[in-house]
Amino acid sequence: MANVILVYVNCKPLTNWEVEEFYSLTNSAGYNVAGYIFQQREKPDGRYYIGLGKLNDLKSVSQATESSKIIFYNELRGNQFFNLEKELGVEVIDRTMLIIEIFSRNAVSNEGKLQVELMYKKKMLPRIMGQGLFMSNQGGGGTGGTGARRGIGEQQKELDKRTIKNEIKLLEKKLEKLSEERAIRRKNREKNRCLTISLVGYTNAGKTTLMNVLSHTNSEAKDQLFVTLDPLSRRISTIMRREILLTDTVGFISNLPHEFIKAFKSTLEETISSDLILHVVDGASPVAYEQYNIVNSVLKSIGASDVPTITVVNKSDCGIFSFVPHSDNFVTISAKNNINLDSLIVLINKYLIKIIETEKTINDTTNFIELFEEKSATPFIK
């Protein structure tokens, strides 16, 4: 496991749980945190983001710990990557690139790989144009799709701006086509009236474990961030004996870059069109409220806040916790140990029955109106 140094320039206050999450992201990417450097500044340095004094400290710590990479929490610009790598002699990435690395490991489907590739291209374009020291000599190991890094030892000068932009356009077209295909499948489901439920929540809240329990399957569930990247759907039956489509979606995280939400727009559209959302919350987390609010904020931003939602407070087996959602529609469970799942199923069916009854009323009313209009249009014959 390669050693890395974490860096954060505190121009904006960072909470303890955000720092812990930064560590968790780093571990999920397969790195060992050998040290960290924080600096308080009113504004970042234009050349290195971090100040010159701390830059020297960073170089010393990096050499002492034999670290192969420096990871900034802050968003860096192309020239800052180049300047830092030139001074430090090791590769430098930021938090966004770290998340892309994790996504690239967990992407399985063609669409997931294309989405990660698109994010990678857009993020790396400024670095390529800025002649990043380590980007110029890296090869192989692309994140999928068309291949992020051409060949071993290929020089940066061969990766011109026009080529990268054309590749981005090609990726966007491929994803647009897949989005259209996804929309067609949604219309077919609506035509056949297959009820849909989406699992959403903060990353590592236990969505996949709950998915496995409800669908009686065994999808991979790990105690890591962003294990589930590709949307996974399973057909389940409830006590109503009606087929339901249950979909597990990508987990959310604090300060999720806007380009991530944009890249996964077609995936998140599945949530918008759902009949019911199960918002899974890690009730054992000391920052459950913060995570709960972050997910609600993202749901609102994508237009899914009006979809009926049940808040599922998970991990009740991990001790007593005081998290209570700002809603009456919640249930406390342990997906891992099958605790109180019957109550969740009852609540799910309550919502589904209401949806079906509403649709039946609408259909009956529509049929009556159509019949009335048909009768009214018939000419009176003596």
pLDDT tens profile 210-221: 988 888 876 555
For residues 85 and 149, state if they share a domain: no
Structural domain including 63 reads: 1-106
Model pLDDT, residue 113:
84
> Do 352 and 209 belong to one domain?
yes
- The residue from 127, 159, 189 where one domain ends is 189
* pTM (two decimals): 0.75
- Residue 160 and residue 90 in one domain: no
pLDDT, tens digit (0-9, with 9 covering 90-100), for 82-137 = 899 999 999 999 998 998 888 887 777 787 788 888 888 888 777 765 554 555 44
Residues 6+ apart with CB under 8 A from 269: 179, 182, 183, 186, 302
- Max intra-chain CA distance, the chain: 104
Q: Are residues 278 and 211 in the same domain?
A: yes
Of 161, 189, 217, the last residue of a domain is 189
Residue 381 lies in a domain: no
Which residues lie below 8 Å from residue 162, measured CB to CB, with a gap of 6+? Answer: none
- Buried b / exposed e across 95-115, counting CB within 10 Å, b at 16+? bbbbbbbbbbbbbeeebbbbb
Q: Are 244 and 234 in contact (CB under 8 A)?
A: no
User: Does residue 365 fall inside a structural domain?
Assistant: no
Together in a domain, 343 and 236: yes
Which alpha helices (H) appear in the chain, and where do they start and end? 16-28, 52-64, 78-88, 95-106, 110-129, 161-192, 207-215, 258-263, 265-272, 288-301, 341-377
Query: What is the C-alpha to C-alpha distance for residues 204 and 199, in angstroms, rounded to an integer?
Result: 12
User: For 74-94, what is each residue's pLDDT tens digit?
Assistant: 999 888 998 999 999 999 999
Lowest mean pLDDT among 37-41, 182-186, 357-361: 357-361
Q: What is the mean pLDDT of residues 175-192?
A: 77
Residues 198 and 304 in one domain: yes
Q: What pLDDT sits at residue 139? A: 42
pLDDT of residue 254: 78
43: CB partners within 8 A, 6+ apart: 11
Task: Provide the residue count of the chain.
Answer: 382
Would you state the pLDDT for residue 344? 92
pLDDT (tens digit per residue) in 159-171: 567 788 889 999 9
Q: What average pLDDT does the structure give for the chain? A: 79
Of 188-192, 197-201, 227-231, 320-324, which gets the smallest average pLDDT?
227-231
In the numeric block, which tokens belong to residue 226?
């962003």
316 and 183 in a single domain? The answer is no
